[in-house]
């Protein structure tokens, strides 16, 4: 962790904070466009292509339109909480980015500064804690709307986010064990020789799945299931308040992608091979590009999932989270712990337990974990059919009682 964190000039901090904010807002606009274009290609369409080059200004136009809409406050709403909820959902989404490392130390207006707003010894815990606060925004939005639909939507959203946060947190524990730190910049430094998604493949897979659940995205977008529900927790919201929820959702999507990049894909480090060919790839401002590309890759995965998978049922979803992801996470953490202990004690020098074999084993376990997703539930024996009702049993036609059906 650079000793500059916390001891920088005030203007450097402000400039970096504004840059992160601008990056996130622009990235959100870009993401909406990008998602629509990509999912359109997957569905044999073109997607928005009218406003601006390649339709890039489409989401800007949509945003302006959204802002100019009438701001409706429903009669039954609890006004204060109703107004507070979207703010409460948005601010944590941005705050998590304070500790995301965009790059190493670089020159900012002649001052050397790490491309990261700040760092903490427990930065990852800070991210998890702060993003959890966003759930309050959702619960309160659902509750304060004074509408049953919104309330149910808010409960579903929060239940889902909390459930998957457990698996998400557990999947990160293995990273902490490997890197020996919870500081994001140190985790990135620890991945200099190898990115963690290889040795910690099961964790990576679990994180990938839980981050989709965490952001309420397809195929886990049950709380907002358009076409099935009215709209989830933000049913009663309009105009800028709705825009804030929308913004928070997309920023959260980028946040979990950025965390995944930092934890498993080497953070801002240049992809395999580039740094070997080109010395400057990991210096100056270039790492921001690698970081951007890596998060974009995760966004692509999000869109690919959305384009491919149908929405899950709520009970399947919960069962998967609690009965599959969390037990596998726990088991895997135990494995990693034992391995770490053995290797630090120098007990892994045998031919069988060398590093490569362990990586292969980890990959196999990860694939098995992924496949376990597809093991069908045990079939319950079908209830025996009731004896058919004979309408003419007594010689006269008699209509069946409710829940019985007459012989056809």
To which residue do tokens 């970096």 refer? 16
43 scored as a contact of another protein (CB under 8 A): yes
Rounded-to-10 torsion of CA 97, 103, 104, 109 = -90
Q: Give the distance from CA 337 to its chain's centroid.
A: 26
Min CB(45)–another protein separation in Å = 5
277 scored as a contact of another protein (CB under 8 A): no
Min CB(221)–another protein separation in Å = 17
42 scored as a contact of another protein (CB under 8 A): yes
Query: CB under 8 A: which stretch of 73-81, 109-117, 300-308, 378-386 binds another protein?
Result: 300-308
Q: Is 133 exposed, middle or buried (0-12, 13-18, 19+ CB in 10 A)?
A: middle
The binder of another protein chosen from 10, 109, 272, 374 (CB under 8 A): 374
Distance, in Å, from the CA atom of 310 to the CA atom of 317, rounded to the nearest integer, reads 12
Contact 169, 117 (CB under 8 A): no
The binder of another protein chosen from 44, 378, 380, 407 (CB under 8 A): 44
**Could you tell me if residue 322 is left (phi over 0), alpha (psi between -120 and 50 degrees) or otherwise beta?**
alpha
Q: Which CB sits closer to another protein, 10 or 374?
A: 374
Query: CB under 8 A: which stretch of 38-46, 85-93, 180-188, 331-339 binds another protein?
Result: 38-46
Size of the site for another protein (CB under 8 A): 17
Query: CB under 8 A: which stretch of 12-20, 44-52, 153-161, 253-261 binds another protein?
Result: 44-52
Query: CB under 8 A: which stretch of 80-88, 205-213, 272-280, 368-376 binds another protein?
Result: 368-376
83: three-class secondary structure by DSSP? helix
302-331 footprint of another protein as x/- string (CB under 8 A): --x--xxx----------------------
Q: Using alpha carbons, select from 311, 118, 337 the residue that is nearest to residue 222.
A: 311
Q: Which CB sits closer to another protein, 61 or 125?
A: 61
Of 379-398, which residues contact another protein (CB under 8 A)? none
Tokens of 78: 């609890």
Helix spans in 284-381 (H): 286-308, 314-319, 326-344, 355-372
Min CB(228)–another protein separation in Å = 20
Min CB(375)–another protein separation in Å = 7
Min CB(46)–another protein separation in Å = 4
371 scored as a contact of another protein (CB under 8 A): yes
Min CB(49)–another protein separation in Å = 8
18 scored as a contact of another protein (CB under 8 A): no
Distance, in Å, from the CA atom of 326 to the CA atom of 174, rounded to the nearest integer, reads 13
Q: Using alpha carbons, select from 234, 210, 214 the residue that is nearest to residue 224.
A: 234
The 3-class SS string of 213-230 reads HHCCCCCCCHHHCECCEC
Contact 400, 392 (CB under 8 A): no
40 scored as a contact of another protein (CB under 8 A): yes
Q: Using alpha carbons, select from 34, 19, 94, 33 the residue that is nearest to residue 63.
A: 33
The binder of another protein chosen from 45, 79, 323, 355 (CB under 8 A): 45
Q: What angle do CA 183, 184, 188 make, to 5 degrees?
A: 120
279-298 footprint of another protein as x/- string (CB under 8 A): --------------------
Q: Which CB sits closer to another protein, 91 or 312?
A: 312
Q: Which CB sits closer to another protein, 241 or 306?
A: 306
Distance, in Å, from the CA atom of 228 to the CA atom of 149, rounded to the nearest integer, reads 12
The binder of another protein chosen from 14, 18, 41, 330 (CB under 8 A): 41
End-to-end Cα distance, the chain: 77
376 scored as a contact of another protein (CB under 8 A): yes
Distance, in Å, from the CA atom of 14 to the CA atom of 372, rounded to the nearest integer, reads 47
Footprint of another protein on this chain (CB under 8 A)?
A: 38, 40-46, 304, 307-309, 371, 373-376
């Amino acid at each position: 962790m650079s000793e500059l964190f916390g001891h920088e000039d005030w203007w450097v901090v402000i400039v970096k904070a504004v840059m992160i904010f601008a990056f996130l807002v622009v990235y959100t606009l870009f993401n909406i466009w990008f998602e629509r274009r990509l999912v359109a290609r997957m569905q044999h369409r073109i997607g928005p292509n009218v406003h601006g080059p390649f339709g890039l200004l489409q989401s800007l136009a949509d945003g302006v339109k959204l802002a100019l809409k009438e701001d409706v406050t429903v009669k039954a709403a609890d006004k204060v909480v109703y107004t507070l909820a979207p703010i409460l959902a948005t601010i944590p989404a941005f705050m998590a980015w304070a500790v995301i490392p965009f790059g190493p130390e670089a020159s900012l207006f002649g001052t050397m500064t790490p491309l990261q707003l700040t760092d903490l010894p427990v930065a990852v815990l800070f991210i998890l804690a702060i993003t959890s606060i966003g759930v309050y925004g959702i619960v309160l939005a659902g509750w304060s709307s004074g509408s049953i639909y919104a309330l149910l939507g808010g409960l579903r959203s929060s239940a889902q986010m909390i459930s998957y946060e457990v698996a998400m947190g557990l999947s990160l524990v293995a990273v902490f064990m490997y890197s020996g730190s919870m500081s994001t910049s140190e985790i990135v430094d620890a991945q200099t020789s190898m990115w963690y998604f290889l040795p910690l493949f099961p964790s990576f897979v679990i994180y990938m799945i839980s981050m989709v659940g965490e952001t309420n995205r397809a195929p886990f977008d049950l709380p907002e299931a358009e076409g099935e529900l009215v709209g989830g927790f933000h049913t009663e919201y309009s105009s800028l308040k709705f825009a804030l929820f929308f913004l928070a959702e997309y920023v959260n999507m980028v946040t979990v992608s950025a965390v995944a990049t930092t934890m498993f894909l080497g953070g801002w480090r240049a992809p395999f091979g580039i740094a070997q060919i080109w010395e400057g790839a990991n210096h100056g401002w270039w790492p921001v590009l690698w970081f951007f590309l890596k998060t974009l890759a995760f966004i692509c995965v999000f869109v690919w999932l959305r384009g491919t998978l149908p929405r899950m049922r709520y009970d399947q979803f919960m069962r998967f989270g609690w009965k599959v992801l969390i037990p596998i996470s726990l088991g895997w953490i135990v494995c990693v712990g034992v391995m770490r202990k053995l290797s630090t004690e120098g007990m892994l020098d045998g031919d069988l337990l060398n590093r490569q074999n362990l990586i292969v084993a980890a990959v196999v376990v990860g694939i098995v974990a992924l496949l376990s997703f597809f093991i069908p539930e045990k079939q319950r024996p079908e209830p025996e059919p009731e004896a058919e009702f004979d309408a003419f049993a007594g010689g006269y036609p008699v209509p069946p009682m409710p829940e019985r059906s007459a012989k056809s």
